Structure 1
């Protein structure tokens, strides 16, 4: 989330300062995929059609160069803030990312566009993405209006299940080596993996998804290594200006580094501890990294996820 105080501070510091000491690590990756939880625009007016306690946006003049400096290749836009400043800001975001060569999915000029898959080339591999959110139904794209790819994520509802199935099938039609389903699901500040999310996640893996990329809670949740794929139920927050809960520590999470084989099969997940300070992300060590490792082990215990420590990081291999 690059808006509000992050946006304010970035106007008076170097464009890559938001990544601080993590920048070299980010740039060393073969590809970088993110959830972008604010529009990139100075246009539009705060959403007033329904009550919204917060309205986020970032100036694309610094935000797009910052994303490019970190090496971002794709962003999911299916979340509950992309329409915070209305349709003009959402459209500016689509145009700015496209102009910068950053693939995106999960929002569009109409419902068909919002639900369309995206692809990114990583070396000789093709990675496909489909995106959806069960938050903020008022932000849903319509047949003739911009918005996000919204679904109730209810497998018992044939219409909602059909939306997910179509999204996966359309992504598979691009013949990817790796398929990622990116889901902005559930309420804020909860560490529980909800049963329906686990059901949806495994249903997606059974249909051909390789990685479920979850986000929304502002705190990281369990990682599950299944026989047919990887579920990251919530990756927590990477950059924002949010108030910190002293118990849940929403300012702490990980950089999730996935290693795949030459055919795109996931092989290893490395969790590199990070902490948000001064509206920037920092690589974490010492007591902070220890807290992150211990908390991830505890939250993942019910899924029998095996981690090994490697320096400050945790590694899950299969």
Structure 2
């Protein structure tokens, strides 16, 4: 992933403690060994205080990232590990902490919603409002495994669900996702989202030399290609 250009990662999701403490800490160790900044899960409270929020700097722009999950599938978090859960008081406190760092933008990555539902539910909309009212500029969601609406209103941008970037779920609409692009421009002391866009993607799973391969393709690259459309129909 680092070779592909991933330069930051969020780790709070419903599977982050599937392998209990050993798995959570190994994930952190691997990311640290690759020098990939991360936030969302932490070895201990001191780690949480240092890396929550996570600060990213690029071309004079400073971004604060916060990350939450709705739960961990009923698996308790082993002490002293810390997982950022989607709780209103925690969210508000973290946003206030982020503001003190004087970032140009605050972005929240949230693992929320109901699987396979193409519309955001009441809880997602409620928490999006909490983020908006407390000063978060961008909210990006995951977990439902399908794409959900993207909205922009009053300088607040929300992607309720990115869908599946790569997976073995082969039936539509679970066999694809969306990549979102935000361009930030800083003029003086003000930073704005100067451009935004999205790219629909599909997971292509051809058999090559007897082995099933996984390829993430932009929809625009194949939507007029009968070969790929036939493959999509067969997989569905």
Task: Give yes or no for TM over 0.5.
Answer: yes
Aligned partners of 1:205 and 1:228 also within 8 Å:
no
Residue 5 of structure 2 corresponds to residue 81 of structure 1? no
2:231 matched residue in structure 1: none
SS in 2 for 1:93: helix
How much is the aligned-residue C-alpha RMSD, in angstroms?
2.1
How many Å separate the matches in 2 of 1:131 and 1:140? 18
Task: Decide which of 50, 61, 64 is 1:128's aligned counterpart.
Answer: 64
SS in 2 for 1:98: helix
How many Å separate the matches in 2 of 1:74 and 1:272? 20
Distance 1:288 1:250, change over 3 A: farther
TM-score w.r.t. length of structure 2: 0.81
Structure 1 stretches of at least 4 aligned residues deviating more than 6 Å after TM superposition:
none
2:163 matched residue in structure 1: 236
How many Å separate the matches in 2 of 1:280 and 1:140? 35
Residue 150 of structure 2 corresponds to residue 223 of structure 1? yes
SS in 1 for 2:93: helix
Aligned partners of 1:127 and 1:176 also within 8 Å:
yes
- 1:264 is displaced (CA, Å) by 3.1
How many Å separate the matches in 2 of 1:81 and 1:137? 7
SS in 1 for 2:127: helix
1:102 matched residue in structure 2: 36
How many Å separate the matches in 2 of 1:236 and 1:145? 32
- 1:287 is displaced (CA, Å) by 6.9
How many Å separate the matches in 1 of 2:76 and 2:56? 25
- 1:164 is displaced (CA, Å) by 1.0
Q: Which has the higher strand share?
A: 2
How many Å separate the matches in 1 of 2:14 and 2:20? 12
2:210 matched residue in structure 1: none
Q: Which has the higher helix share?
A: 1
2:218 matched residue in structure 1: 283
Aligned partners of 2:20 and 2:77 also within 8 Å:
no
- 1:178 is displaced (CA, Å) by 1.4
- 1:78 is displaced (CA, Å) by 0.8
How many Å separate the matches in 1 of 2:194 and 2:53? 24
How many Å separate the matches in 1 of 2:74 and 2:121? 23
1:208 matched residue in structure 2: 135
How many Å separate the matches in 2 of 1:70 and 1:172? 31
Q: Which runs of 5+ in 1 are unaligned?
A: 1-66, 152-159, 290-318
TM-score w.r.t. length of structure 1: 0.61
Q: How many residues align?
A: 211
- 1:69 is displaced (CA, Å) by 1.3
1:251 matched residue in structure 2: 175
Aligned partners of 2:21 and 2:77 also within 8 Å:
no
What per-residue deviation string (whole Å, max 9, x for no partner) do you get for residues 159-181 of structure 1?
A: x3211111111222222111101
1:149 matched residue in structure 2: 84
How many Å separate the matches in 1 of 2:115 and 2:28? 26
Aligned partners of 1:90 and 1:147 also within 8 Å:
no
Aligned partners of 1:108 and 1:141 also within 8 Å:
no
